[in-house]
Chain A
Amino acid sequence: MALDRFELEQREVERPAVSHSELSDHDLIDATREGDEAAFAEIVSRYKGQLTNYIFRMLGDYEESIDLAQESFVRVYFAIDRYHSGYAFSTYIYRIATNLAISELRKRKRRKLYSLTGLFSYDDESDEVYQPPDDRPHPEEEVVSREMRETIGKAIISLPDRYKAPIILREIEEKTYEEIAEILGLGLGTTKSRISRGRGILRQRLERYLESDTDEVQ
């Protein structure tokens, strides 16, 4: 009997090592719960890029985006025992990031409201200084110029908050309507409606690019 247990333990120990990169999000979460720091590092590795960019497109602030992305992971780490696999981990962490970003946007609005400078110099276009620090040449630089990219970024950031996250999640992060509804805690109809309205605003702001493209098409 004791020998059987020993052999069982041996088999468990000698279980073929699976690379963390091959594990699903839920498996990594389970491993993290058991104290596997490398599993958590793999989760961070998988999501830090998209999460940081998601927040960056919401705020337009590089430092703040890094900080809030890290804060999202910190919250995941300390609430990992409460996480249940009822829905996708990506939905879970995007929801945390969204809440942090929306909270930051509200703080900024309050600061702007109470700031005399903000009251007298508020300019919808110039308010958000959009300076992406990524200087690497983009593979599609020829198709979409840097100036165009910046304009796109400004157009997204200047969206009303209620349209911003749905648009980013749908058009950039390529989430399904269902995922977006779950992340934002909205109904499916409301989610679709907000995306549609957000696209309408962006269509107007990016009109000149669309017209030229249409001309080219025609």
Chain B
Amino acid sequence: MKCSETRRILRSGERPDERMLEHIRECGACARVAEREEFLTTLLKHAPAIDPPPDFDRTLMNKIESRRDSAASRTLVRPGILVPASAAVLLIAVLAIAFVLFRGQTAPEVAGPGIEEAPVTGSSETNVETGTNSEDLPDRNEMAGPVEGSASDLPAEPGAGSDPVEPAQDNEQVFEGGSRDLAAETPEDIVPPWADGTPRNVPDKVPARMLTPRELLAELGIEAELESGGWKVVSVRQGSIGSRAGVRKGDLIKALDGRPLTDAPLDAGGKRLQIVRGTRQMTLSIRP
């Protein structure tokens, strides 16, 4: 074995094998190198040492306990879950607010069809959609129950005595013979409910077309003659619309929904007749 190879192996820190030991015994220079490398190894083994502190184990167990607790809390509330959960809560809140706002805006519209489909007293129209008689329709109104509060603000429904959407209180009074000062009411105060785009509740029997007052009154079953300030009722046909509205012979019909009845043609649509009976001014509701 060559000296160079022996010294290279000795300096690398490798332990000499039997063949190397034999060479070292024979070679004084390599023996000194071996001794020197051995002493270096001995020196390194005497690098300073420390003893772990007495509370090493206790501190370690505290760390483990602490880490275990934090791991448990992470399991309960994982960041990966926290973010989607917050997003879901936020989304639900936004949807709830949007629903409330949407409901507030659309409540009258929702109530509208329910009112239109409300039963009309005396009517025997058959509901095409359900095949049931219109008297069954209160059930449909119950479907609009959640918006009842809004529906109560809608215009009066003629003839819908038991309907949740009752006619306006003033109309009730008029129907029962109450009187109002016609002079105090301007045409703008007595706007027909469908004139502003609200659902039309007047039955088809009252034609929405241009008629002369005579023709209009004739359709209501009223025969009248034009006098100064209005149409004097000559007769009222039994069971007619005019009769149900409470028009009597001798009444002076002055206006329809605030529109003065002269000889000129007018839109036949209307709900209220302003009349003078004797000395009293009255408004009668037309109930087809």
Contacts and interface: CB of A to CB of B under 8 A. Distances in A.
B218 to A, nearest CB: 98
A214 interface: yes
B43 A148 contact: yes
A206 B39 CA distance: 11
**Which of under 10, 10 to 19, 20 to 34, or 35 or more describes the interface residues of B?**
20 to 34
B43 A70 contact: no
A133 interface: yes
10 contacts: A44-B60, A66-B56, A74-B63, A77-B64, A78-B64, A78-B71, A132-B49, A195-B13, A199-B40, A203-B40
A49 B52 contact: yes
Interface residues of A, number: 50
Contacts of A132: 48-50
Given A148-B46, A172-B45, A210 B40 contact: yes
A98 interface: no
Contact of B60 (A70, A144, A152, A195): A70
A74 B40 contact: no
Given A48-B56, A214-B35, A57 B51 contact: no
Interface string A52-77: 11001100001001100111011001
Given A41-B57, A210-B39, A195 B12 contact: yes
Nearest to A146: B48
Given A41-B57, A66-B53, A152 B12 contact: no
Interface of A: 41, 44-45, 48-49, 52-53, 56-57, 62, 65-66, 69-71, 73-74, 77-78, 130, 132-134, 138, 140, 144, 148-150, 152-153, 156, 167, 170-172, 192, 195-196, 199-200, 202-203, 206, 209-210, 213-214, 217-218
Interface string B34-48: 011101110111111
Contacts of B49: 53, 56, 132, 134
Given A73-B60, A74-B64, A199-B11, A62 B50 contact: yes
B237 to A, nearest CB: 98
B13 A134 contact: no
Contact of A149 (B12, B32, B37, B46): B46
B44 A49 contact: no
